Structure 1
Amino acid sequence: MILKPGIKQAIYTFGVQMNMFSLGTASAYAGTLGPALSEPGSGFHIDLKMVSLIASMPGWSGFLPIILLGPLMHFAGRKTANICLSVPIFCGWILTYFAAEYNSISMLLAGRFLHGLPMGAAYFISVCIAEFSDPKNRNNLLGFKPITAVLGVALMHTMAYYLHWKHMALVGAIPPALGFLITLFWPETPEWLVSRARYEEAETVFYSLRGYSKEGEHELMQMIECEKDRRKFLSDNQRRFAFWKTFKSPILWRPIAILFFALLVPVMGGRHYLVSYSVHLGAQLSGDKTKGYFYTVLSNGIAIPGAVLNLYLLKRFSRRGVLLGTGFVGSVMLAVACAMLYIRTIYPSEALSYSILGVFAVYYFLANCGFYPVSYILMGEIFPLEYRALGSLIDGLLSALGMALVSAFLPWLEIAMGTYGVLLIFGCIMLISLIYLYYHLPETKNRSLHDVGDYFRGKSPKIRRVGEFAFNADENRSILEVDK
């Protein structure tokens, strides 16, 4: 049976979507694991320092795939890289299960270390999805990426009510196993084949994935011609070290800066710490320590429809509009919540506690339908082909460092400054990042990856009109301009 191009794109990208699902399960697992291990009779004796280490371990291990996947995806290909990613993630969940069986904190930390691999692979996942999909389907396939993460979070939080944490680990092993099996049937992506000068194979895979169209033919020819031109200016000896010589190019550092600030927005906006410390933060925000788990599950009920709504927003509005519009509104809501939390320390009130929860519920919905997913969608679209592996490596290191530091020091910051103080600082950093993006982020919607790369090469405008679509930050327009 011959599958339609759109179905092929969906099936192939499902192989990496499963690793994104694992990112959600790993993030949420810390929120239920810490309280479970602290209970009497758990077999483990841990303090605040160990809770912090368990929660932040995936952030630190995220450095490993960031360092290895860049060169691996560049030299060995996307298929080999995803296989090398899925197998250790699966092993991490199995180790966690046996840690419970033998009450071994060492095995538990080793398992948590391997849980963090998809966190360092978020760039790689975005690149694979973008390269397997055409510009029209890319919007939905990349938009589905955060939904899989949210579903992973919801699954873990829901299972915490019914399953022991060791049995949750067995369920967590299923997604990477599925991802591994699907990847075995992958072809290599056309972009990688072009970068290795395997043009005939690239053409075969390209039309197999996309079907034939004049726009697709033009995109493929541009991609091949650009690679041929690049090779003309490189001798055989220079080409061997070209991966490292790109380090000095401004064409590399401009998208790195943009993507760094784009990822600071969700990191400072709570994408990870609101999940990892969900039970504790739920109790802090509500003022009722007995309801931490309830508010955690409630947050999942908010996040899932928000992530689904994001698919509609991305289809209706520009990437810039959704990111900047929801981001600026979200930063204002964080400031309001901080003020309310501070007032509650002076004038305790049950009504005020419910108001704070209401503000955060709206904020969390806004974040999941706006700046959370869009920031991660940009991972697969920003870098030009020749800088994609090295750029993903550098930006991944910076992002993982930020996430690990936030997860590790959040308990101590909260003790020193209070929840309102921590959220105020994070909100200010988020606002500064959004201002930078307003002036520097190009629009990527409905543009081929080659065309986006040409913007950084100085050959394409920041905003390119496609049909009736347009969004230009330099013009006096609404931040949420609609495709009319």
Structure 2
Amino acid sequence: MLVNFISSIVKVQSDIMEQIGASCISLNNIRNDEENETKTEKLIASSKSLSSHEENISLKGLFPQIIASLIAAAFHIGNGMAMSYSSVVISQLEKPDSDIKPTTGEKALIASILILVAPLASVFCGVIMDKIGRINTIKTAMVPAVVGWCLTALAKNTTVLITGRALVGIASAFGTSPAIVYIAEISNPKMRMSFLQLCPTYVALGMIFIYLGGWFMHWRLLAWVSNVFAILPCLAVFFIPESPMWLIMKGRVKEAKNSLNWLHKYQPPIPGKDETFADIQFKLLKKEQEENSEKSKNKGTVMDIAKEFLKPTGYKPLIILLPLFFCQHFSGVYITMFYSITFIEEAGTNVSGYFASIMIGVIRLVMASCNIFVLKYMNRRTTIMWSCLGMAVCMFTSGLFTLWIKEGQTTAKWVPVAALLLYVVFSVVGLMFLPFMVIPELFPQEIRGTGYTIGYSLSTAFMFASLESYYFLNETLGGATNLQWFFAIVCLAGLVYTYMFLPETKGKKLIDITTNFQKGWLYIGKSHKEDNVNNNV
């Protein structure tokens, strides 16, 4: 029973992550099927009538997809609010007149509980979204979200407060994961990355709302107001159609056709074709579903997957990713998000922690919107290394001025905040997101979904550990200055480690990536002639 349960969970989450990985990360999947050229030729032939038409699609033709993506991703606003709310509530609970007096451990758990419940919630979310659909799963997120925010607002002790935060964390998984899959399934291939960029943009917007609200509101009132951003997105999805891919998978052919007609209703006729764009798309999706069903029958067992992880192409990516995850989370990227107000106030600056947090949110919003161009034109390794270097310089500068401020050697109390804002710019460009993106790029096709699941879970564990250890690190290292220098050292370690071990994946064929793991551990010292080629994705 236990083995079957674990097997089903791995299968479901692997399938979901394969969809997300294949849709969100540009890997040139046609290149990856070099070992099966016949299937590649079939895929090209079946989509030929659509490819040139999709490349020249107009804004009017994309309008339904834009609306659907804007609505489906809207729950990410609540996700951003949930993540940044810990900063506000902890800051206000630390005040002398607070009616709840949490311990240091309880404050850490208030911040980190969202990360603790996320992996398990995502697994069950995957089961549900495959059963009832992407849109219906988003609708269900409203229940734990509203209950969680209400418990938070009414909490008389830390136990109830933490329980409310946990429910909001579960809701975040149920409201965001289906949205990512939905957008990946309905969007034009040329615009997919742009539409998916709505998700981090909405998260940054939610953070701004919370920091701005926390500046003027009590944390209980802010929790009540947050219900609005849990209810409205779930109501809005009633006005968009279900994913046609999921409908076809469930055999609901008529609804799938209606969904495609809605999503492509402004598409002009294809020259020389009697069928509409939606009709041809329907045939291709149906054929793809039949092929996927056949592939799923031939999928390896849990033991077959385990054997793949015993090969260098299976275990080396996981081992190489572990130190990168450590550097990602112990560089302070998420600590400065979940504890931003407390962190800024301890830096000794005269700038309001709430105002500085709002500015951090604005920068995240702008950078999340612009990040698509970085992902398109820059290599993964280069971006991460520059990100680490910039973060290290900024955090060292912030720590140095924090020391000088406390010693009375300077009156430039605005410098730590300015350095932190620039630190956020460098983090969003590279170290904050790219380690998540390279996970599926490093694994062979046979275990990509499972590899992503395991890698993402390990990264989440490091995130939880970093958030839990904030107060311990601050006390052990002797205060804000040394803590910031610790973050700077970790950033530099991430730079060196990335240079030495992390393979370049952008624009690379699967065979090139897997061959690298068969050669050895170090990435430097090998011939990588294509690394500096500007490959447009």
TM-score category of the 2 structures, normalised to the smaller one: 0.7 to 0.9
Q: Give the 3 Å change call, closer, same or farther, for CA 398–229 of structure 1 in structure 2.
A: same
1:427 aligns with 2:487: no
1:470 is aligned to none
Alignment pair present for 1:57 and 2:118: no
Partner of 1:106: 159
Secondary structure of the 2:102 match is coil
CA drift at 1:26: 1.1
Structure 1 231/20 Cα, relative in aligned 2: closer, same or farther at 3 Å?
closer
Q: Say whether residues 1:92 and 2:148 are aligned partners.
A: yes
Q: Which residue of 1 aligns with 2:170?
A: 117
| Structure 1 residues 104 and 228: alpha-carbon distance in aligned structure 2, compared to 1, 3 A threshold | closer
Q: 1:361 aligns with which of 409, 414, 421?
A: 421
Kept in 2, the 8 Å contact 1:17–1:148? The answer is yes
Following superposition, the deviation at residue 95 of structure 1 comes to 1.6
- How big is each residue's C-alpha offset from its partner over 1:76-132, in whole Å with a ceiling of 9 and x where there is no partner? 432343333332122211221222xxx343321211112222565655543332122
State the distance in 2 between where 1:276 and 1:135 align.
Answer: 34
Q: Match for 1:227: what amino acid?
A: N
Unaligned runs of 5+ in 2: 1-58, 268-276, 517-526
| 1:227 has 2:292 as partner | yes
CA distance in 2, matches of 1:437, 1:188: 42
Percent of aligned pairs sharing the same letter: 21
**Stretch moving more, 74-83 or 191-200:** 191-200
Shift of 1:63: 3.1
Q: 1:72 pairs with 100, 123, 128, which one?
A: 128
Amino acid at match of 1:296: S
Where structure 1 has 5 or more consecutive residues not aligned to the other structure, the ranges are 445-454, 463-472
**Which residue pairs with 1:282 in the alignment?**
344
What residue is the counterpart of 1:466 in the other structure? none
Q: Name the counterpart of 2:365.
A: 304
The Cα of 1:244 is off from its aligned counterpart by 9.4
What TM-score, normalized to structure 1? 0.75
Residue aligned with 1:161, SS = helix
Q: 1:438 to 1:259 in 2, by over 3 A?
A: closer
Paired amino acid for 2:457: L
Give, in angstroms, the shift of residue 161 of structure 1: 1.8
Identify if the C-alpha distance between structure 1 residues 116 and 146 changes in structure 2 by more than 3 Å, giving closer, same or farther: same
1:144 aligns with 2:198: yes
**5 Å matches for 1:122-271?**
123-193=177-247, 205-206=259-260, 208-209=262-263, 212=277, 220=285, 223-224=288-289, 226-230=291-295, 233=298, 257=318, 267-271=329-333
Looking at structure 1, the residues matched to 302 and 126 of structure 2 have their Cα atoms a distance apart, in angstroms, of 10
Q: CA deviation at 1:166?
A: 1.4
C-alpha separation in 2, matches of 1:182 and 1:298: 29
C-alpha deviation, 1:461, in angstroms: 12
Deviates more, 1:253-262 or 1:31-40: 253-262
Structure with greater Cα Rg: 2
Corresponding residue to 1:18 among 41, 53, 74? 74
Q: Give 3-state SS (helix, strand or coil) of 1:179's partner.
A: helix
Shift of 1:24: 0.9
Cα distance in structure 2, aligned partners of 1:427 and 1:94: 39
In 1, distance between residues paired with 2:442 and 2:261? Answer: 23
- What is the Cα deviation at residue 260 of structure 1? 7.8
In 1: Cα distance, 2:242 partner to 2:63 partner: 17
Cα deviation, 1:186-242, whole Å, max 9, x if unaligned, reads 5443444555576786566456535528996896477335315425647xxx9xxx7
Go from structure 1 to structure 2 and tell me whether the alpha carbon gap of 1:303 and 1:83 turns closer, same or farther (over 3 Å shift): same
TM-score between both structures, scaled by the size of structure 2: 0.68
Q: Could you tell which deviates more after superposition, 68-77 or 30-39?
A: 68-77
> What number of residue pairs does the alignment pair up?
447
Residue type of the partner of 2:424?
A: Y
In structure 2, the CA distance between the partners of 1:332 and 1:119, relative to structure 1 (3 Å rule), is farther
Corresponding residue SS for 1:134: coil
Structure 1 residues 295, 333: closer, same or farther in 2, change over 3 A? same
Residues 254 and 456, structure 1, Cα contact 8 Å, conserved in 2: no
Q: Which residue among 313, 332, 352 is the counterpart of 2:389?
A: 332
Alignment partners' CA distance in 1, 2:381 and 2:207: 25
